[in-house]
Structure 1
């Protein structure tokens, strides 16, 4: 019996780790605002935006169009703002430089190595990646950083990589390095032996580090990209220097800028009510903001057969294509009262607005009914109070007096 118990205790952690191969992410320094005591779990697409936001040479901005519809944009923004690069002080001088950003990727970590790392670091992971992709995806991510001029073209040892003054491993204010713990297990020893030096650089404000620990079980994952599609990584290579702004960070109806004209003076284009072709509808609405599809407005059956439209018919000028919005299920925010998923309905010419008409009419109808009930109750009470007393009471009193008079006369 004891033998079976010991075997179960030894095998159970391995089975749990293989069933839930999440990747741990450590931050130096840790985020100052802690929302919950447990480690939050975020999708790989959102984690990829965190990596890009921390290592971008300028203020990184993205419209998050590469996120699947199952991920709530507000929740993604919250994660990026919490785990991304620390904002610069409001009254900082122009000569004051931001801390250098370092991303260390350790893939092929065993359960024992992960436990040892967590024990020696002394802090829990900042967040976990629920669906880490394969080793091929990690190589593609490193190639993306190389194309952005961030990742070092040569392999540096970890002791040199954590030194931002080392010109062999650093080409600017940010760097990305990747190590395979199965091929070079001594990398973990080098990291743990240089923790004091790393913490000193972090405490002095010279360095900020993101440590990604990928489990060995994720090496053979079927997912070969950190983004939803491979095209998103190619688009990110073209838009790596996008400026983040409150006005246009996640808007999908941004007008196209004419050649040779600055974006600030470009006139805003109105969304047409009807697109002449299927391709123009998809291109100008970004496939209905990812919340619907372009259909023929006057097709038989309300456009239900638009998927069978040929390329020649789709560009026919006699057609009228519009966006047909569809509902999508998104995850609720981590700090929401109710957990799980919620259904979001979309509206607008490009399906870019959340449709809250049902909630509005429920609230408006309930308010109107309650006002009617209260007004009717007050009116009923007022009408009852204004009625005169019946004459039966007075008639009974007068009859008794008349009867006593007659008896006395007799």
Structure 2
């Protein structure tokens, strides 16, 4: 009898959860972020724009035509401006590299898991998403991110995903990862264990994170898209017409590759830092043969070990240092000789022509200045009056 009563109560609670789905919580990890006492409730369409704005690799212009009538455009824009990525200054330039942007989506969270995460973080939720969409909508959203070249084609473990210097999980300045807490409940434990490590990256200005926790009750939602105007045809239209913000797709990502003629071939982005000497040498083809990989921040340039503690993340930043190369001009008498070629770029793949350019420019400016000065002197001498004695000898007689 007790067993039947327990099953009945569980079924009723499941039906109640399906009828009244739990809201999704979004947490912000940002060095300049200050939580507000009032937690705003943001529709899924506006939340989608926030995710796209944070992970966009170019200036993102929000098209808010798909927002619901329950929120006005001005409020939607203010939410995107507040919770999105901070825009770069217009008239000033900073030497500091912008922080990498990471979006972590955790779906299938039970009530106890949500409470556990909220207690551990010890901070207010940045915003909530009422009536979050289904797991099918999350798949469509990840497909959009992969189409934009943001989401990784391979499922990285959470400790590696939160490390912006992990070259295997990061192919650019932004990344999106998704985990299912029902099939992989250990992901939440891994997040809590690496929370101090994540906060270290954030406090150093290397990383900004938006964590979206989707409840298990949202799986039964009938909403299959994050955007009201989204669909299979809309996704295909975006693939063909939108400006693609990604770099070249990885070789194994067949699902993310666009159709033939949809987009031009993209050049693979080379990270500013590699975590190991081996990955730097392999992915840059030994700096294109024009340099070598060195550790920019570490004392020992040969140290290629990975430190997972997070405290020495700056000590594992391998990058190419380009060197000048002496090449033979040719075998003929006219071209015989040697010249020094300088190289630049993240892979030392670009020939540096700044020195010949400035030599030619400086020589041209000097010659033009000398000719101008000579012409000016000729005119100045011609305008001078002759002395009086010479003037009297050459004066015309009356």
TM-score normalised over the length of structure 1 = 0.53
Aligned to 2:100: 100
Determine helix, strand or coil for the equivalent of 2:66: coil
Q: Alpha carbons of 1:242 and 1:167: their partners in 2 closer, same or farther (altered >3 Å)? A: closer
Q: Equivalents in 1 of 2:31, 2:139: separation in Å?
A: 27
Determine helix, strand or coil for the equivalent of 1:75: helix
How many equivalent residue pairs?
235
Q: Equivalents in 2 of 1:223, 1:81: separation in Å?
A: 26
Q: Equivalents in 1 of 2:21, 2:140: separation in Å?
A: 23
Q: Alpha carbons of 1:19 and 1:30: their partners in 2 closer, same or farther (altered >3 Å)? A: farther
Q: Alpha carbons of 1:242 and 1:176: their partners in 2 closer, same or farther (altered >3 Å)? A: closer
- Structure with bigger gyration radius: 1
- 1:301-327 CA-to-partner distances (Å, cap 9, x unmatched) read xxxxxxxxxxxxxxxxxxxxxxxxxxx
Deviation at 1:18, TM superposition (A): 6.5
Which stretch has the larger CA shift, 183-192 or 234-243? 234-243
Aligned to 2:26: 25
Aligned to 1:135: 135
Determine helix, strand or coil for the equivalent of 2:220: coil
Q: CA RMSD in A?
A: 2.9
Q: Where in structure 1 are there 5+ consecutive unaligned residues? A: 1-7, 244-410
Is contact 2:54–2:101 with CA below 8 Å preserved after alignment?
A: yes
Deviation at 1:128, TM superposition (A): 0.2
Q: Alpha carbons of 1:234 and 1:40: their partners in 2 closer, same or farther (altered >3 Å)? A: farther
Q: Alpha carbons of 1:89 and 1:204: their partners in 2 closer, same or farther (altered >3 Å)? A: farther
Q: Alpha carbons of 1:74 and 1:238: their partners in 2 closer, same or farther (altered >3 Å)? A: farther
Which stretch has the larger CA shift, 106-115 or 80-89? 80-89
Q: Alpha carbons of 1:155 and 1:93: their partners in 2 closer, same or farther (altered >3 Å)? A: same
Q: Equivalents in 1 of 2:48, 2:68: separation in Å?
A: 13
Q: Equivalents in 2 of 1:104, 1:121: separation in Å?
A: 15
Q: Does 1:58 align with 2:58?
A: yes
Q: Where in structure 2 are there 5+ consecutive unaligned residues? A: 1-8, 246-398
Deviation at 1:21, TM superposition (A): 1.2
Q: Equivalents in 1 of 2:208, 2:239: separation in Å?
A: 23
Q: Does 1:196 align with 2:199?
A: no
Is contact 1:59–1:241 with CA below 8 Å preserved after alignment?
A: no
Deviation at 1:229, TM superposition (A): 2.0
Is contact 1:148–1:240 with CA below 8 Å preserved after alignment?
A: no
Is contact 1:100–1:207 with CA below 8 Å preserved after alignment?
A: yes
Deviation at 1:17, TM superposition (A): 9.4
Q: Equivalents in 2 of 1:116, 1:139: separation in Å?
A: 26
Q: Equivalents in 2 of 1:103, 1:122: separation in Å?
A: 20
Aligned to 2:74: 74
Is contact 1:17–1:111 with CA below 8 Å preserved after alignment?
A: no
Is contact 1:227–1:233 with CA below 8 Å preserved after alignment?
A: no
Determine helix, strand or coil for the equivalent of 1:210: strand
Q: Alpha carbons of 1:20 and 1:219: their partners in 2 closer, same or farther (altered >3 Å)? A: closer
- 1:71-119 CA-to-partner distances (Å, cap 9, x unmatched) read 3111100100010012334565364321000000000000000000001
Q: Kindly report which structure 2 residues correspond to 1:121-200, keeping only aligned pairs within 5 A, or say none.
A: 121-200=121-200
Q: Equivalents in 2 of 1:58, 1:111: separation in Å?
A: 37
Q: Equivalents in 2 of 1:117, 1:49: separation in Å?
A: 25
Aligned to 1:45: 45
Q: Equivalents in 2 of 1:15, 1:30: separation in Å?
A: 39
